[in-house]
C-alpha cells in the first residue's frame, strides 16, 4: 500500500488528515463566535451537536483523524530521526528563511494535544460525553447543563489561569497551522514558484483567522468575568 | 546472353576492385617494411573527404548481438567521452566495466565547461555547413590536425545535438521554441549551442543519465573511487587493467577484450590550471610506457581570461568565459609609474585617465581587436606583464574593462549578458566588476596533445583505444572554443562504438581470460613495488610542494613563450625535480587505506614524465604554431611563424624504457583538401 | 593589501567507516582572506604533513562550484555561511580573526562517512539509476528542432537541472530527506516533452529507490532549498508530489 510504504504516501496522509482538521477548526471557531453574539444561539448549536447520531458519527470521524494524524506524526518523526544517522551535528544553525515552526511541528503538536486534553475535560466531558452517558442510561444530575455551552464557557474563562493556558494553546495552534496549511497544500502538489508566496500568505491568513476567532471568545469571556464575578470561581 | 555479359562485367569490376585494394595493402606493407618502425599507419580510409566515414561504416566489420554479450570492454573515465562511450557500448549489448576516480561518474571535469558545444546545424541560416565547421577547426588548429578525423568530427556534430535533446538536455531556446545559438571565437557563424553558462554540466548529466540507465540494466558495471594504475598487455594486445580501490587501498585486476581510455588531459602538469584538482595524465603515461605513442605533448592551450593567481597557497585557477571579450576591453597603463602604483595598491584601475591606458590588443590587432584567438591574446598579455605593466600586486594581470560597454549599453544589458560571471568574479576577488575593471591573466586550460590514435581511435597498442581530450586527434595545435565538448561526445557516442567493433569482430573467439595470468600478476607486482618504493622514501617534502615546483618550472620555461634555452633549462630542472621526488617525498598513512597523499604522489610521478615529454617535444618542434610559441620563430611583428616544410607532422613519442630517451616517430600531415595559410588577425 | 587572519579549526576526524570519530582542534595562523576555504584546508594539511601526521581527508575536485564533490558542514551550514555557493567558492574573508570554525561531514544515514570529512554519496547515483533518465539509445533520434519547447518551460527545466548532486539538501534537512534532489531531476524531465512520456514511471521508481535507501520523509521545512548552492527551488518538491500522487492514483 503506497500510502503507508512510500514517503510521499505517508506525507499525503498527514496532509489530508491535517487539512481536514483545519476545516474542523474553522467550523468550530465559527460556531464559537456565536457565543459572543448570542448566548441562546450558541446553546442551540450545542443542543444540535449533542448526542445526535450525526454528531456522534462526526465525532468518531474526527477522533479517527486526530489519532491518524498523531500516530503518523510519531511514526514519521521516528523514521526521520533514524534517517539522520547515528551521529548528530555538533553545531547547527537555523537558516534565515526557514520557519521556526516547520522544524518543531512535533513539539507544537504535543503542546496542542495537551491543550486538547484540557479542552476535552473542560467542555466535551461535561457536555457531549455527559449526554452520551445519559442516553446510555447512566444517572446524571445536571443533565440540562450538558447543552448549556455558555455556562461552561463562563465557568472556565472566569479563571485567569485557564485564559492564559488557552491562549498559550492557541499560540501553539497558530504556529502549527502557519506551517501546516501551506505544507499540506505543498504535499498535495498544489504549489509552484508563482503560487509559493500566495500559498504561504493564505496559510497565514487561515491560521490567524482560526486562532483569532477562538481567542476572541476566550478573551471576551475572560474580561467579562472580571466585570461580574471577580475571581471567586477559581476554586472550581 | 545480355544477362550473362552483365554478370561478367560485374565480376570483372569486383575483381578489379579487389586487385586495387590488395595493391594498396601491398604498397602500405612495403612502405612499412622500408621505413621500419618509422612508418605510422593512420588507417584513414580511401576516397573523397566527405565519403570516408560513410564508406568506413559501410565496410567495417560488426559484432552480432549474441557475441556482444560475450565481449568485455573496460572504459576508464566517465567524462563526456568515457560516459557516452560506456553508455553507448552498453546499449549495444557489450559487457562494459566503467571506472572513475571520483565518488560518482557525474563529477568528471567535463562538467565545468561553460560556453557551449559547436555543431554544423545551420539553424541560423548563416551559411554554416559541415565543411565550414571542418575548415574552421583545421584552421583554428593552425594546420596541425588530421583532415579525415576533423571532417568526421564535423559530420557527426549534428547527431550530438539531436542525441542530447532527446536525452532531455535543456539547451537554451528562443521564444518560438526552437534552439538558440551563440557565436564563439574563430568562426563567422553562430553555431554554438548552450545551456546557460553550464553547457558542460548539462551535456555530462545527459551522458551520465544514459550511463545510469545502462548500469540499471546491468550492461555497465560502475567502479567509482577506483584509479587505473596500469594497462595489462597479453600477447601484444590490451587485455585489462590494474586499478586501485581508493577507499580500501586494495590493488585489483580486471580483464577485458578491449580497453578504452577517456581520462582527459594533462594540464595539471602545471599545478595551477583550470583543470580540476583530480585531473591527471596518469592513464596516458601508463599506456605510453606500455608502448602507446604520445603525440604532440607540447600542444597545450593557454586561456587568456582567467582570474589571476592571488597568493602562494592558490590551488587552482578559475576560468572566465571567452564570451566576456565580446564587450570587455583589455588594457594596461601606458606609463610604467602607473603600473608600479597599481602593483603597490596606491592606485585603482578607474583612477587612470583614458589617455594613459594602453589597449594593446586593439593597438596591435586593429582588425580583430579584443577578439583575437586565445593563443594570441594570451601571449600579448604575457608580453605586457613581462615588460612590467602588470596591474595587480604580483604584476601578473591585465585589466578587462566593461566601463565602455556599461556606458554604451547600460548596466542592465551587461548584467543580463554576463551577470553570472560577474557574480562569480565578485565572490572570488571581492571586487565589483561593474565599478572596477576585472583583472585577468592567462592560464593553462586544455591539452591538444595526447595519446596518438589512428582513424579508428585505436592507439599503437592493439585493442587499446583512446577518446576525448586524452587523445591528440582533432584540434591540432590550438582548439577553438566550444569544440572540446563536441569532440568528447563525438568520440563516445558516434565514433568509438563503430570503430571498436572492427577490432572486436576478430576477438569473438577469445574467451574471458583469468586475471591470474602471469601478465596480470607481473603488472600488479610492478605497481605494488612502485607503491612500496614511494611509501618507503619517508623524506621531508609534501607531494604538493614538489608539484608546485614542477608547475613553476613548466610555466616559466615551457609556458607561453618557449626558447631553445628555456626548454633545455626545463629538462635539467625537471630531472632535478624527479630526483627530489623519488628521494625526498613524504607520504603519511598506510597504503592499504584511503590515502590521498599516495594518490597524489602516484599522479605526480606521471606528471613529471609528461612535463619532460612536453619540454622535449617543444624543443624538437622548431616552429611556432597555435598554442606552441617558440620565440625564435616569430615574424618581425611578433606573430607565430610556422615551418610547414619541416614540421608538418604529428610528433609521436615512443617510450624506450626507464632513463632512456624516447624516440620520435612522425606521422606526416598531408593536406589533400585544404590549403595551408598563415593566420592573420591584423587586417 | 593582503589581509590575514588567525583561526581555530575544530575538524571531525574519523579513521574509517566503522571507526569512532572525534573532533580535533587545530590552530592556523596567517591565513590569507583571499584564499578559499579549501585552500585553507590545504594549508592545514601541509602543516599536518610537516608534523608527519595524516592530513584531513575531504572531497573536492573542480574547485569552481560545479562538480558537486565538496561537501563540508561548516559552522552549522552545509557549504558554509555564504549563500548560493559551494564550499570551494567560500572564501576566508567570510570569517573574522580569532574565529573558531567547526567542520563536520554530511550527517545522514544514507551518506556513511568514509574517512574524516568524506562521505559516500553513492545513494544519489542509485536513485538516478532507478529512473533519472529518458530511455533513448544512441542514434535514431529525431532532429533537435523537431519538438519545439516553449522558452519558459525550457528555462524552468534548466533551473531544475542545475542541481550538482552535492547532497547539501540532505545534509541540511533535519529529516535527512532527499526530496529536493529527486524532485529536481523528476521536474527537469517531467517539464520537457522528451521526458514526459515516462514521467509517471520515473517518479514512482525514483521515490521507491529513495525510500529504500533510508532517506527521511520530507516535511517541507525548506532548509534544503535555503542551503542549496545552486538555489534549486522548493516548488520542485510540489511538482514531484503531484507527479507521484497522480501516477499512483492511475495505477
d(CA B143, CA B670): 10
**Which of A132-141, B65-74, B354-363 is the least confident region?**
A132-141
Give mean pLDDT, residues B261-270.
98
**Does B650 have pLDDT greater than 90?**
yes
Give mean pLDDT, residues B110-135.
95
Our CA-based measurement puts residue B597 at a distance from the nearest CA of chain C, in whole angstroms, of 8
d(CA A164, CA C48): 59
d(CA C201, CA C131): 8
Write down the pLDDT at residue A227: 74
Write down the pLDDT at residue C196: 97
Tell me the chain C residues in contact with residue A190 when contact means C-beta distances shorter than 8 Å.
Answer: 238, 242
Domain membership of residue B356 (yes or no) is yes
Give mean pLDDT, residues C147-175.
96
Q: B269: exposed, middle or buried (C-beta count within 10 Å: 0-12, 13-18, 19+)? A: buried
d(CA A60, CA A66): 10
Domain membership of residue B618 (yes or no) is yes
Name the grid cell of B326. 565580446
B522 and B642 housed in the same domain: yes
Give the sign of the dihedral formed by CA C228, CA C231, CA C234, CA C236.
negative
Give me the residue from A76, A98, A187 closest to C241, CB to CB: A187
DSSP code, position B494: I
Taking an 8 Å cut-off on Cβ atoms, the answer to whether A84 and C217 are in contact is: no
Write down the pLDDT at residue A138: 83
Q: Which of B209, B256, C128, B143 is nearest to B243 (CA)?
A: B256
Domain membership of residue B601 (yes or no) is yes
B436 and B317 housed in the same domain: yes
**Does B25 have pLDDT greater than 80?**
no
Q: Are B276 and C67 in contact (CB under 8 A)?
A: yes
d(CA C138, CA B85): 10
Count of C-beta atoms within a 10 Å radius of residue B347: 17
Taking an 8 Å cut-off on Cβ atoms, the answer to whether A179 and C220 are in contact is: yes
User: How sure is the predictor about B38, in pLDDT bands with cuts at 50, 70 and 90?
Assistant: low
Our CA-based measurement puts residue C65 at a distance from the nearest CA of chain A, in whole angstroms, of 21
**Which of A98-112, B668-682, C215-229 is the least confident region?**
B668-682
Our CA-based measurement puts residue C32 at a distance from the nearest CA of chain B, in whole angstroms, of 8
**Does B643 have pLDDT greater than 90?**
yes
Mutation pick from A13, A77, A81, A95 vs chain C, by most beta carbons of C within 10 Å, is: A95
User: How sure is the predictor about B21, in pLDDT bands with cuts at 50, 70 and 90?
Assistant: low
Taking an 8 Å cut-off on Cβ atoms, the answer to whether C55 and B596 are in contact is: yes
Write down the pLDDT at residue A233: 46
B328 and B425 housed in the same domain: yes
Q: Which residue of C has its CA nearest to B347?
A: C1
Distances (CA, A) of C140 to B45, B60, B499, C136, C192: 25, 20, 18, 9, 19
d(CA B151, CA B122): 16
**Does B20 have pLDDT greater than 70?**
no
Task: Show me where the domains of chain A are located.
Answer: 2-82+103-235
Domains in chain C (CATH in brackets) are 4-104 (3.10.20.30), 122-250 (1.10.1060.10)
DSSP code, position B188: S
d(CA B203, CA A62): 53
**Does C44 have pLDDT greater than 80?**
yes
Give mean pLDDT, residues C119-140.
97
Write down the pLDDT at residue B252: 98
| pLDDT lower than 50: segments of chain A | 230-236
Give mean pLDDT, residues B524-541.
98
562504438: which residue's cell?
A: B497
Tell me the chain B residues in contact with residue C32 when contact means C-beta distances shorter than 8 Å.
Answer: 310-311, 313
Higher pLDDT, C2 or A48: A48
Domain membership of residue B602 (yes or no) is yes
pLDDT > 90: percent of chain C? 97
Prediction pTM value:
0.94
Q: How many Cα atoms occupy the beta-carbon half-sphere of A88 within 13 Å?
A: 7
Mutation pick from C93, C110, C120, C144 vs chain B, by most beta carbons of B within 10 Å, is: C144
Domain membership of residue B473 (yes or no) is no
Q: Which residue of B has its CA nearest to C66?
A: B112
**Which of A178-187, B11-20, C91-100 is the least confident region?**
B11-20
Last residue of a domain, one of B444, B460, B494: B444
B317 and B425 housed in the same domain: yes
**Which of A146-160, A165-179, B241-255, B439-453 is the least confident region?**
A146-160
Taking an 8 Å cut-off on Cβ atoms, the answer to whether C207 and A6 are in contact is: yes
Write down the pLDDT at residue B1: 53
B418 and B325 housed in the same domain: yes
Angle at C62 between CA B313 and CA C24, to 5 degrees: 60
Is B374 catalytic? The answer is yes
Q: Are B389 and B380 in contact (CB under 8 A)?
A: no
| In B162-257, beta strands by DSSP E | 192-193, 220-224, 226-234, 237-245, 251-255
Residue-averaged pLDDT of chain B: 93
Higher pLDDT, B58 or B322: B58
d(CA B349, CA B355): 13
**Does C186 have pLDDT greater than 70?**
yes
| In B23-84, beta strands by DSSP E | 72-76
Write down the pLDDT at residue A230: 45
Write down the pLDDT at residue B34: 53
B641 and B546 housed in the same domain: yes
Give mean pLDDT, residues B666-678.
92
B437 and B538 housed in the same domain: no
Write down the pLDDT at residue A232: 44
User: How sure is the predictor about B547, in pLDDT bands with cuts at 50, 70 and 90?
Assistant: very high
Name the grid cell of C232. 534549486
Interface of A with C (CB under 8 A): 2, 5-12, 76, 79-80, 82-93, 95-99, 102-103, 105, 179, 182-183, 186-193, 195-196
Q: Are B334 and B661 in contact (CB under 8 A)?
A: no
Q: C47: exposed, middle or buried (C-beta count within 10 Å: 0-12, 13-18, 19+)? A: middle
User: What is the CATH number for B363?
Assistant: 3.90.700.10
d(CA B417, CA C23): 45
Taking an 8 Å cut-off on Cβ atoms, the answer to whether A183 and C219 are in contact is: yes
Write down the pLDDT at residue C76: 96
Domain that holds residue B604: 518-649
> How many distinct structural domains can be found in chain B?
2
User: In the CATH hierarchy, which fold is given to the domain comprising A2-82+103-235?
Assistant: 3 helical TM bundles of succinate and fumarate reductases (1.20.1300)
> Which residue among B132, B253, B364, B374 is the active-site one?
B374
d(CA A26, CA A60): 18
Last residue of a domain, one of B427, B444, B461: B444
**Does B389 have pLDDT greater than 70?**
yes
Residue-averaged pLDDT of chain C: 96
Write down the pLDDT at residue B13: 72
Tell me the chain A residues in contact with residue C172 when contact means C-beta distances shorter than 8 Å.
Answer: 95
Write down the pLDDT at residue A143: 81
Give the sign of the dihedral formed by CA C195, CA B153, CA B195, CA B214.
positive
Domain membership of residue B450 (yes or no) is no
Q: Which residues contact C138 (CB under 8 A, 6 or more apart)?
A: B84, B87, B88, B91, B163, B210, B493, B494, B497
Our CA-based measurement puts residue C219 at a distance from the nearest CA of chain A, in whole angstroms, of 7
Instruction: Give B473-503 pLDDT, tens digit per residue.
Output: 999 999 988 999 999 999 999 999 999 999 9
Write down the pLDDT at residue A231: 45
Neighbours of chain C (3+ CB pairs under 8 A): A, B
Mutation pick from C217, C229, C246 vs chain A, by most beta carbons of A within 10 Å, is: C217
B418 and B314 housed in the same domain: yes
User: How sure is the predictor about B33, in pLDDT bands with cuts at 50, 70 and 90?
Assistant: low
Our CA-based measurement puts residue C251 at a distance from the nearest CA of chain B, in whole angstroms, of 23
**Does B596 have pLDDT greater than 70?**
yes
B107 touches chain C (CB under 8 A): yes
Amino acid at each position: 500500500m503506497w500510502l503507508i510504504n512510500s514517503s510521499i504516501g505517508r506525507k499525503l496522509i498527514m496532509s489530508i488528515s491535517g487539512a481536514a482538521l483545519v476545516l474542523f477548526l474553522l467550523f468550530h471557531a465559527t460556531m464559537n463566535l456565536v457565543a459572543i453574539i448570542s448566548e441562546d444561539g450558541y446553546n442551540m448549536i450545542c443542543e444540535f451537536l449533542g448526542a445526535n447520531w450525526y454528531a456522534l458519527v462526526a465525532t468518531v470521524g474526527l477522533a479517527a483523524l486526530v489519532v491518524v494524524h498523531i500516530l503518523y506524526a510519531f511514526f514519521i518523526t521516528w523514521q526521520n530521526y533514524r534517517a539522520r544517522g547515528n551521529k548528530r551535528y555538533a553545531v547547527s544553525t537555523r537558516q534565515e528563511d526557514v520557519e521556526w515552526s516547520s522544524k518543531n511541528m512535533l513539539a507544537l503538536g504535543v503542546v496542542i494535544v495537551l491543550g486538547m486534553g484540557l479542552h476535552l475535560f473542560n467542555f466535551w466531558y461535561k457536555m457531549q460525553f455527559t449526554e452520551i452517558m445519559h442516553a446510555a442510561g447512566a444517572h446524571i444530575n445536571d443533565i440540562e447543563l450538558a447543552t448549556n455551552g455558555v455556562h461552561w464557557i463562563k465557568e472556565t474563562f472566569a479563571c485567569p489561569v485557564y485564559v492564559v493556558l488557552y491562549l498559550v494553546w492557541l499560540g501553539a495552534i497558530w504556529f502549527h497551522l502557519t506551517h501546516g496549511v501551506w505544507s499540506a497544500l505543498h504535499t498535495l502538489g498544489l504549489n509552484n514558484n508563482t503560487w509559493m508566496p500566495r500559498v504561504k500568505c493564505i496559510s497565514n491568513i487561515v491560521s490567524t483567522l482560526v486562532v483569532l476567532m477562538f481567542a476572541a471568545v476566550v478573551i471576551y469571556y475572560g474580561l467579562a468575568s472580571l466585570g461580574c464575578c471577580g475571581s471567586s470561581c477559581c476554586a472550581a | 546472353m545480355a544477362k550473362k555479359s552483365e554478370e561478367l562485367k560485374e565480376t570483372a569490376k569486383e575483381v578489379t576492385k579487389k586487385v586495387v585494394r590488395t595493391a594498396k595493402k601491398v604498397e602500405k606493407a612495403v612502405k612499412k617494411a622500408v621505413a621500419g618502425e618509422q612508418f605510422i599507419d593512420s588507417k584513414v580510409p580511401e576516397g573523397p573527404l566527405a565519403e570516408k566515414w560513410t564508406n568506413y561504416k559501410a565496410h567495417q566489420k560488426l559484432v552480432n548481438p549474441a557475441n556482444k554479450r560475450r565481449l568485455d570492454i573496460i572504459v576508464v573515465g566517465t567524462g563526456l567521452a568515457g560516459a557516452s562511450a560506456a553508455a553507448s557500448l552498453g546499449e549495444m549489448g557489450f559487457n562494459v566495466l566503467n571506472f572513475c576516480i571520483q565518488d560518482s561518474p557525474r563529477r568528471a571535469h567535463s562538467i565545468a565547461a561553460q560556453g557551449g558545444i559547436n555543431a554544423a546545424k545551420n539553424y541560423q541560416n548563416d551559411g554554416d555547413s559541415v565543411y565550414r565547421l571542418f575548415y574552421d577547426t583545421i584552421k583554428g588548429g593552425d594546420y596541425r590536425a588530421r583532415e579525415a578525423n576533423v571532417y568526421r568530427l564535423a559530420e557527426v556534430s549534428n547527431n550530438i545535438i539531436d542525441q542530447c535533446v532527446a536525452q532531455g538536455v535543456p539547451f537554451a531556446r528562443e521564444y518560438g521554441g526552437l534552439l538558440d545559438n551563440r557565436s564563439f571565437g574563430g568562426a563567422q557563424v553562430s553555431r554554438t549551442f548552450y545551456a546557460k553558462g553550464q553547457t558542460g554540466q548539462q551535456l555530462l548529466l545527459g551522458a551520465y543519465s544514459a550511463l545510469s540507465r545502462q548500469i540499471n540494466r546491468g550492461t555497465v558495471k560502475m567502479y567509482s573511487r577506483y584509479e587505473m594504475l596500469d594497462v595489462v598487455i597479453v600477447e601484444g594486445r590490451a587485455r585489462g587493467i590494474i586499478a586501485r580501490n581508493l577507499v580500501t587501498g586494495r590493488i585489483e585486476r580486471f580483464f577485458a577484450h578491449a580497453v578504452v581510455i577517456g581520462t582527459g588531459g594533462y594540464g595539471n602538469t602545471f599545478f595551477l590550471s583550470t583543470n580540476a584538482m583530480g585531473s591527471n595524465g596518469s592513464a596516458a603515461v601508463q599506456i605510453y610506457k606500455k608502448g602507446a605513442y604520445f603525440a604532440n605533448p607540447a600542444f597545450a592551450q593557454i586561456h587568456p581570461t582567467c582570474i589571476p593567481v592571488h597568493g602562494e597557497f592558490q590551488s587552482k585557477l578559475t576560468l572566465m568565459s571567452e564570451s566576456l571579450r565580446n564587450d570587455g576591453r583589455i588594457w594596461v597603463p601606458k606609463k610604467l609609474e602607473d603600473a608600479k602604483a597599481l602593483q603597490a595598491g596606491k592606485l585603482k584601475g578607474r583612477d587612470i585617465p583614458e589617455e594613459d591606458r594602453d589597449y594593446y590588443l586593439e593597438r596591435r590587432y586593429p582588425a580583430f581587436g579584443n577578439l583575437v584567438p586565445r593563443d594570441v591574446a594570451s601571449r600579448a598579455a604575457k608580453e605586457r606583464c613581462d615588460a612590467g605593466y602588470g596591474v595587480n600586486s604580483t604584476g601578473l594581470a591585465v585589466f578587462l574593462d566593461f566601463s565602455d560597454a556599461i556606458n554604451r549599453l547600460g548596466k542592465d544589458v551587461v548584467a543580463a549578458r554576463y551577470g553570472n560571471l560577474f557574480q562569480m568574479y565578485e565572490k572570488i576577488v571581492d571586487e565589483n566588476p561593474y565599478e572596477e575593471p576585472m583583472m585577468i591573466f592567462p592560464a593553462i586550460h586544455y591539452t591538444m596533445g595526447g595519446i596518438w590514435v589512428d582513424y579508428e581511435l585505436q592507439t599503437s597498442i592493439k585493442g587499446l583505444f583512446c577518446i576525448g581530450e586524452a587523445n591528440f586527434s582533432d584540434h591540432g595545435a590550438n582548439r577553438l572554443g566550444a569544440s572540446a565538448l563536441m569532440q568528447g561526445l563525438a568520440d563516445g557516442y558516434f565514433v568509438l562504438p563503430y570503430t571498436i567493433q572492427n577490432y572486436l569482430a576478430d576477438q569473438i573467439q577469445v574467451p574471458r581470460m583469468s586475471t591470474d595470468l602471469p601478465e596480470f600478476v607481473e603488472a600488479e607486482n610492478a605497481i605494488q613495488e612502485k607503491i612500496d618504493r614511494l611509501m618507503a622514501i619517508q623524506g621531508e617534502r609534501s607531494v604538493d610542494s614538489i608539484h608546485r615546483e614542477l608547475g613553476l618550472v613548466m610555466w616559466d620555461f615551457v609556458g607561453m613563450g618557449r626558447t631553445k634555452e628555456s626548454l633545455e633549462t626545463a629538462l635539467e630542472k625537471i630531472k632535478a625535480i624527479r630526483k627530489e621526488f623519488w628521494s625526498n617525498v613524504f607520504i603519511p598513512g598506510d597504503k592499504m587505506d584511503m590515502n590521498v597523499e599516495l594518490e597524489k604522489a602516484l599522479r605526480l610521478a606521471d606528471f613529471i614524465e609528461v612535463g619532460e615529454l612536453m619540454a622535449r617535444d617543444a624543443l624538437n618542434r622548431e616552429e611556432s604554431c597555435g598554442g606552441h610559441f617558440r620565440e625564435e620563430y616569430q615574424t618581425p611583428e611578433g606573430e607565430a611563424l610556422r615551418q610547414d616544410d619541416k614540421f608538418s607532422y604529428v610528433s609521436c613519442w615512443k617510450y624506450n624504457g626507464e632513463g632512456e630517451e624516447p624516440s620520435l616517430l612522425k606521422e606526416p600531415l598531408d593536406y589533400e583538401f585544404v590549403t595551408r595559410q598563415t593566420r592573420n588577425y591584423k587586417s | 593589501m593582503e589581509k590575514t587572519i588567525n583561526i581555530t579549526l575544530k575538524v571531525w576526524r574519523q579513521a574509517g567507516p566503522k571507526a569512532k570519530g572525534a573532533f580535533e582542534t587545530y590552530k592556523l595562523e596567517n591565513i590569507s582572506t583571499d584564499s578559499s576555504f579549501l585552500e585553507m584546508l590545504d594549508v592545514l594539511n601541509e602543516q599536518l604533513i610537516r608534523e608527519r601526521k595524516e592530513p584531513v581527508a575531504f572531497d573536492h575536485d573542480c574547485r569552481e562550484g560545479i562538480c558537486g564533490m565538496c561537501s563540508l558542514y561548516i559552522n552549522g551550514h552545509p557549504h558554509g555561511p555564504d549563500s548560493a555557493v559551494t564550499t570551494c567558492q567560500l572564501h576566508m574573508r567570510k570569517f573574522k580573526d580569532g574565529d573558531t570554525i567547526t567542520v563536520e561531514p554530511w550527517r545522514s544515514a544514507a551518506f556513511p562517512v568514509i574517512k574524516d570529512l568524506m562521505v559516500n554519496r553513492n545513494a544519489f547515483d542509485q536513485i538516478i539509476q532507478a529512473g533519472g533518465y529518458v530511455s533513448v539509445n544512441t542514434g535514431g533520434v529525431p532532429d533537435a528542432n523537431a519538438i519545439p519547447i516553449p522558452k519558459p518551460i525550457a528555462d524552468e527545466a534548466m533551473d531544475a537541472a542545475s542541481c550538482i548532486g552535492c547532497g547539501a539538501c540532505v545534509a541540511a534537512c533535519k529529516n535527512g530527506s532527499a526530496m529536493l534532489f529527486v524532485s529536481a531531476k523528476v521536474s527537469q524531465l517531467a517539464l520537457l516533452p522528451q521526458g514526459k512520456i515516462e514521467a509517471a514511471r520515473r517518479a514512482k521508481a525514483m521515490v521507491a529507490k529513495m525510500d529504500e535507501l533510508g532517506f527521511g520523509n520530507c516535511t517541507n521545512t525548506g532548509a534544503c532549498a535555503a542551503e542549496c548552492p545552486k538555489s534549486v527551488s522548493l516548488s520542485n518538491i510540489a511538482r514531484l508530489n503531484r507527479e507521484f500522487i497522480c501516477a499512483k492514483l492511475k495505477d
